[in-house]
Structure 1
Amino acid sequence: MRRAADLPRVTPTGGCGRLQAGAAADACVGPGQRPPQGTEGDDRAGRRAVPAARPVSQDFTADAPNRLWFGDITYVRTWDGWAYVASVIDAFSRKVVGWAVADHMRTDLVLDALRMAITRRHPPKGVIFHADRGSQYTSKEFVDFCKINNVRNSVGRTGICFDNAAAESFWATLKKEFIHLHPFDTVERLRTGVFEYIEVYYNRLRIHSTIGYLTPVEFEDEFDKKGDRAA
């Protein structure tokens, strides 16, 4: 098996088929089937929800890495039942810097994704993390975690999907290019598939028009090279 670095860059159409072999089973989500949904302001973990600031106003751009992150939760049907995926994406490069998969949508799910991003990126004090006004992102546990780690917590307005449109766009891409092409029998199989899609394909091989038809890794590498030349 070739390393990710040895694989060719690909366009968004049909580029991740190699990742899907072996991850599928013969099940599908029928029409109208939807998982249980949390309500905004209602922390499913039973913790008190707290107000959160909204420093982001539908502007999902940044002039450098680790200035603005955004994220969300989506759901995937498996043979074992519903599974949930959380993301953290860097607005500068569209690189997925944190993610988590679980069989629940408690606050721990989004904490695991944000914890991965912080551990990997070591962001400067004051990096903004923007999400919708879901119960997980407004819970006291999540807000306290952001404060402890010097992350500015930002949430969208109630019922305004455009306030987190960039995160929703990533889910649409993930499902179109990967999830909807085959189902999964277990949550663990889904976790493996999400790892391969994000870490091997999306971040390293898939080019993005919004960043000059480069991959997220290439775009950040170019930024680092410019900084080195200017130093």
Structure 2
Amino acid sequence: MRQMGIRAQWIKPHTQTTIRSDFSGKLKNLLDRNFSPAHPNCVWCTDITYIHTKLDGFVYLACIMDLYFRRIISWKLTKTLDTGPILESIEEARKRRPSQEPIMIHTDRGIHYTCDLYRKLTRGMIRSYSAKGVPYDNACIESFHSLIKREWLSRFDIQNYRHVYRLVSQYIDDWYNPERIHCHCGYMSPAEYEVMFQRTSTD
């Protein structure tokens, strides 16, 4: 992807892409914009963004980020906003990154993240929610979704779901996680930062 000229760019202003719901005041912002957790695999954030295609209309990308490494640990692309397929990213993340300690998972207040299925899938986790209509409370994953659109997807005349899937895989699996440097990671990529952490932890 370096040969294709992809490079880091400034993040564009936020565009709201999630469905908001008027839920009770019981949904607390436990993360409180502390985007630098002390340990890996203790705070995840997730959100959904819309991607337009010529033939299939909108498709929907749900990503989960480990805030310590800024790494996308799971993602799911769906053709509908049905809750089940969207939330499969959580099941996948929990299988890939099991933890004996409760993991905090931070989301907005969209219907996918306040429904019974979400509460079931996140049983044993610590649920944290952005304030209603405040995307900055979930800034890291919001910024990532802006990046993938600005740095990569905007370059293409996207045809359909399969085209988006291929592009998202190229960006996340071949570029963002293993290659794209991040100031939070000491100007290493998320994957490099994780490898360094594992090495220093065993020394």
Same fold (TM over 0.5): yes
Distance 2:121 2:25 in 1: 13
Q: Kindly indicate whether residue 178 of structure 2 is the aligned counterpart of residue 204 of structure 1.
A: yes
TM-score, normalized by length of structure 1? 0.77
Distance 1:36 1:86 in 2: 11
* 1:118 partner SS: helix
Sort the Cα spacing of 1:228 and 1:183 in 2 relative to 1 into closer, same or farther, 3 A.
Answer: same
Find the counterpart in structure 2 of residue 46 from structure 1: none
Across the aligned residues of Structure 1 and Structure 2, the Cα RMSD in angstroms comes to 2.4
Asked whether the equivalents of residues 42 and 104 of structure 2 are also in contact (C-alpha less than 8 Å), the reply is yes
Question: How many Å apart are 1:192 and its aligned residue?
Answer: 1.8
Question: How many Å apart are 1:125 and its aligned residue?
Answer: 3.0
Distance 2:27 2:119 in 1: 8
Q: Kindly indicate whether residue 66 of structure 2 is the aligned counterpart of residue 90 of structure 1.
A: yes
Equivalent of 1:40 in 21, 45, 59: 21
- Which residue identity does 1:63 align to in structure 2? A
Equivalent of 1:56 in 17, 31, 37: 31
- Which residue identity does 1:58 align to in structure 2? R
Distance 1:67 1:61 in 2: 11
Sort the Cα spacing of 1:91 and 1:67 in 2 relative to 1 into closer, same or farther, 3 A.
Answer: same
Quick check: 181-190 or 214-223, which moved more? Answer: 181-190
Name structure 2 gaps, 5 residues minimum: 9-14
Distance 2:195 2:172 in 1: 18
Asked whether the equivalents of residues 71 and 167 of structure 1 are also in contact (C-alpha less than 8 Å), the reply is yes
Deviation digits for residues 70-118 of structure 1 (CA, Å, limit 9, x no counterpart)? 0111000012110110010000010000110011122224311111211
Question: How many Å apart are 1:224 and its aligned residue?
Answer: 0.8
Find the counterpart in structure 2 of residue 110 from structure 1: 86
Asked whether the equivalents of residues 6 and 152 of structure 2 are also in contact (C-alpha less than 8 Å), the reply is no
Q: Kindly indicate whether residue 158 of structure 2 is the aligned counterpart of residue 184 of structure 1.
A: yes
Distance 1:36 1:99 in 2: 16
Distance 1:165 1:36 in 2: 13
Equivalent of 1:77 in 52, 58, 63: 52
Distance 1:64 1:134 in 2: 27
Q: Kindly indicate whether residue 152 of structure 2 is the aligned counterpart of residue 171 of structure 1.
A: no
Distance 2:173 2:101 in 1: 26
Find the counterpart in structure 2 of residue 121 from structure 1: 97
Q: Kindly indicate whether residue 6 of structure 2 is the aligned counterpart of residue 14 of structure 1.
A: yes
Question: How many Å apart are 1:41 and its aligned residue?
Answer: 4.2
Sort the Cα spacing of 1:41 and 1:191 in 2 relative to 1 into closer, same or farther, 3 A.
Answer: farther
Asked whether the equivalents of residues 178 and 197 of structure 1 are also in contact (C-alpha less than 8 Å), the reply is yes
Distance 2:43 2:16 in 1: 30
TM-score, normalized by length of structure 2? 0.87
Distance 1:215 1:209 in 2: 9
Distance 2:134 2:126 in 1: 20
Q: Kindly indicate whether residue 41 of structure 2 is the aligned counterpart of residue 66 of structure 1.
A: yes
Name structure 1 gaps, 5 residues minimum: 1-6, 17-33, 43-48
Find the counterpart in structure 2 of residue 100 from structure 1: 76
Deviation digits for residues 173-228 of structure 1 (CA, Å, limit 9, x no counterpart)? 11111111113211122112111210111000111111111011110111111110
Asked whether the equivalents of residues 17 and 48 of structure 2 are also in contact (C-alpha less than 8 Å), the reply is no
Distance 1:103 1:51 in 2: 31
* 1:178 partner SS: helix
Question: How many Å apart are 1:52 and its aligned residue?
Answer: 3.6
Distance 1:194 1:87 in 2: 11
Distance 1:162 1:115 in 2: 26
**How many pairs are equivalent?**
194
Q: Kindly indicate whether residue 176 of structure 2 is the aligned counterpart of residue 195 of structure 1.
A: no
